[in-house]
Structure 1
Amino acid sequence: MKNNIEIQKEDLKKILFMLIDKLDDSPTDKFSLEKDLYWNIPDDKLYNMYQEPPDLTIGSLVEDWELLQKILRKEREVLWYDFYKVSTILNSIGHASII
């Protein structure tokens, strides 16, 4: 199995725009996330398949969304870590939308 993957920025942007288009196709203007808390695996353990993560922490979708809302209100700058915060929200929407 290949250990590394190269992703072209333009390809990633295209996929993200396609997902945004999928949001536009949704019959709803809101997404209700019924769950808040999730298990969070520390970054240094997340991709180590040879060792079970010993110290899980708890993340909160509510806190993640509140942090992202601060960007919209221009209360803080966008950070690279915000990709992770958006991913937790999208992950939850994706799971809730599976038929």
Structure 2
Amino acid sequence: MLVEHYQQAGVDALEIDDMDYYWVVEPPEWTDFQKEPSLCVGSLIDDWAELQRVLKEDIATTVDFNRLGAVLRAVSERLGRQ
């Protein structure tokens, strides 16, 4: 439904190539509000490559949900700038 909405608005493709590194708060820290979380660095390029591997090898892990989430956040950020 979300993709269809943006396709109807004329968005058929979205470039996020200029976005790569981002901050990550790892589980379970991302839901623990009793202390300041430590930050890690993620890479959209690495995330995308690993998601492509999942498609080819048909082997997924729970970490792939985090990778997909990062890509979706990047798409959301880019769409918000349009």
Q: Partner of 1:62 in structure 2? A: 45
Q: Partner of 2:71 in structure 1? A: 89
Structure 2 residues without counterparts, runs of 5 or longer: none
Superposed structure 1 runs of 4+ greater than 4 Å apart = none
Rounded to whole Å, the distance in 1 between the matches of 2:32 and 2:9 is 36
Rounded to whole Å, the distance in 2 between the matches of 1:61 and 1:40 is 11
Q: Partner of 1:39 in structure 2? A: 23
* Cα distance change on mapping 1:42 and 1:63 into 2, 3 Å: same
List per-residue Cα deviations over 1:4-44 (Å, max 9, x = no partner).
xxxxxxxxxxxxxx224335435344321121000111212
List per-residue Cα deviations over 1:58-97 (Å, max 9, x = no partner).
000000000001122x234122322211110011110111
Q: Partner of 1:13 in structure 2? A: none
Rounded to whole Å, the distance in 1 between the matches of 2:39 and 2:30 is 10
Normalising by structure 1, what TM-score?
0.67
State the SS of the aligned residue for 1:52: coil
Matched pairs, number: 80
Shift of 1:46: 0.6
Rounded to whole Å, the distance in 1 between the matches of 2:4 and 2:65 is 19
CA RMSD after TM alignment: 1.9
> Which of the pair has more CA radius of gyration?
1
Q: Which has the higher contact order (CA 8 A, sep 6+)?
A: 2
State the SS of the aligned residue for 1:59: strand
* Cα distance change on mapping 1:32 and 1:46 into 2, 3 Å: same
Rounded to whole Å, the distance in 2 between the matches of 1:49 and 1:57 is 17
